[in-house]
Structure 1
Amino acid sequence: MATSIFSTLSAKLQAFYDRFPLYETQDSTSRHLIAAPSKPVLWIAPRLRSDTTSYDWVSSDPSSLRFQLLFLLAGVDAEWKEWETESTAPEGKLPTLVLPEKIVPASEVRAWLDAEHPLYDIKSDFHGYPNATLEAQARAFGRLATDKIYPAYMASLASSQTSVARLALLLPNPPTLLGGLTSPLPSLGQLKRVDLESIKREGAEAIRALGVRLVADGTGPDDWFLGCSTPTPLDCLVVSHLFLILHTLPTSNPLRRAIDADEPLKRYVERFFQKVDPSSSSSST
């Protein structure tokens, strides 16, 4: 009986999707990956177009920017190229790394970086942190960025039902049945349960928590998050989000207000970029 139900459901879903045939576009994977490069190429979301920053190499997407910062911090000699439509990338995600010998999808880029250009001793017990307590705190603050600040940033950019539906799938606790078997597309009722303003408020609170910790660590001009003497992957994760908030959102946005009200946090973001910027004399690359 169950098999019959799912067979009928599958047939109905197939009939629905058959109404929207797929076509090859100029952003197809094959167009981007025609020839093997002579050095690593990191395909990223389109670059940020903003009059408020001189860093013209940064991606407009936090995930792509995070990996740009990781590559710069690790001293990887790589080229950035823009991939216009993320859904056409391998795994449907960016960034994608193309090497002379292979293609590395988004889910494997960090593993490749850790293996080939480690930012810390990969045999260490605490992933580069001096003790288990700081390692656990780094994970916790990392989750603030991915689970609170990133959804809040996406909520700030959401301008249609489609973007709200995509945002809902990023939430730690998405609305029930969203995109489920019984509904190929989210219903209006499901989308209404996505409280954009609440998501933004939680993101702003997370930013303030980052600022409080930064001050508590007594971070000076030569220190980084959690009091580390050199930047860590956590700095790349945090800065990639804060930078884009500063340079894409209006001053009235709660996320932007949370950063603007915290001068030490703003200086921390700029100091990180001054360190890794390829055109800067103080850059490590």
Structure 2
Amino acid sequence: MDSLSIPGPIQKFFSIFPLDVLPDQLASATPPFPTLWIRPPASKLSNQSRDVVCLKWQAYLVLRGVRGVQLRWDISDDGAINGRLPSLHLPNGDLLGSGRLPSWADDVQGSNVDPLEGFKNTDLKHESRAWASLLDRNIQAALPQNSENLSRLFQPPLPPLSGISNPLPPFGSHIPSSSILLQYREAIDSVAVRLDQDEWFLGSASPTFLDALLYAYLHCALQGPESLSNEILKRENLVNWEHKVSEMMESAYQ
């Protein structure tokens, strides 16, 4: 008897549960519109990723004025460039990693490379690096989910201290220590004071990468535990600013 044959009673049992063959996920099918692959939103009522890195790039495209981008969150990180979402799938079949999104947005907008990156002068451009480092050090540590390094996502790259730097994937519950919460509160307070009533951070005439980064952190913190969200809710200007950008996000991605 063939050693691999299945006894009759077992075959009869398996016949009760027929094998359904599902079609392969068409992640590689050419999309009709530019499509940003992201990690899923926290709620079915939102189109904004719960992952701070994906959300940062969602916000970046919206704040750059890029429209007509569709979203997918049914693709795992394994299908993304460098094994990390987000990635942008274009109608011509190209798949771009997040590091190529700024240059793609420039092409879409017909923009030239701005040496000041949208800031009013060189001093503010340098100051933006310090704020990015502060956000990455003092806010990301308090978030329920840590994400991977952000420094490689910017063009040009941020200084070594900038970027979400925890190389380990999140697991279990995350309860910030008192020292982490103190640093978080101080960072939120500093951001609120510096933003004041400006339309965009550091008084820029239009949004910059720093606004996208700040929005991602504020939005994720507001979805987090009360110890995080309450610190933002105490500052009316941060609440109003986050709400303004969130409305832009929800309307841009339909």
Paired residue for 1:259, among 225, 232, 249?
A: 232
What is residue 71 of structure 1 aligned with on the other side? 61
Query: Which residue of 85, 106, 115 corresponds with 2:98?
Result: 106
Per the alignment, do residues 111 and 43 of structure 1 end up closer, same or farther by CA in structure 2, a change over 3 Å counting?
A: same
The alpha carbon displacement at 1:279 in A equals 6.6
Is residue 151 of structure 1 aligned with residue 136 of structure 2? no
* Matches of 2:164 and 2:243, distance apart in 1: 29
**1:45 maps to 2:39:** yes
1:195 Cα shift? 9.3
Unaligned 5+ runs, structure 2: 1-23, 148-162, 169-173
SS at match of 1:278: helix
Percent identity for Structure 1 against Structure 2? 26
- Partners of 1:126 and 1:32 in 2: how far apart? 40
Q: Against the structure 1 CA distance between its residues 36 and 125, is the aligned structure 2 distance closer, same or farther, given a 3 Å change threshold?
A: same
Contact 2:88 2:96 in 1 (8 A): yes
Write the deviation string for residues 28-55 of structure 1: whole angstroms up to 9, x where unpaired. xx835231112211000101217xxx6x
Comparing both chains, which one has the higher relative contact order based on Cα–Cα distances under 8 Å and sequence gaps of 6 or more? Answer: 2
Runs of 4+ aligned structure 1 residues displaced above 6 Å come to none
Contact residue 118 and residue 206 of structure 2 kept, 8 A: no
Q: 1: CA distance between counterparts of 2:207 and 2:164? A: 28
Distance 1:37 1:84 in 2: 14
Query: In structure 2, what residue type is equivalent to 1:260?
Result: L
Displacement of 1:276 in angstroms is: 4.5
> CA-atom RMSD, angstroms?
3.2
Cα distance in 2 between the residues matched to 1:39 and 1:84:
17
Number of residue pairs the alignment of both structures matches: 209
Gaps of 5+ in 1: 1-29, 164-169, 180-193
Q: Which amino acid aligns with 2:120?
A: P
The answer as to 2:230 corresponding to 1:238 is: no
Q: Is 2:105 the counterpart of 1:132?
A: no
SS in 2 for 1:143: helix
Task: For residue 88 of structure 1, report the CA deviation from its aligned partner.
Answer: 4.8
Q: TM-score, normalised by structure 1?
A: 0.63
- Normalising by structure 2, we get a TM-score of 0.70
Q: Does 1:228 align with 2:204?
A: yes
Cα distance change of structure 1 residues 199 and 87 upon mapping to structure 2, 3 Å threshold: farther
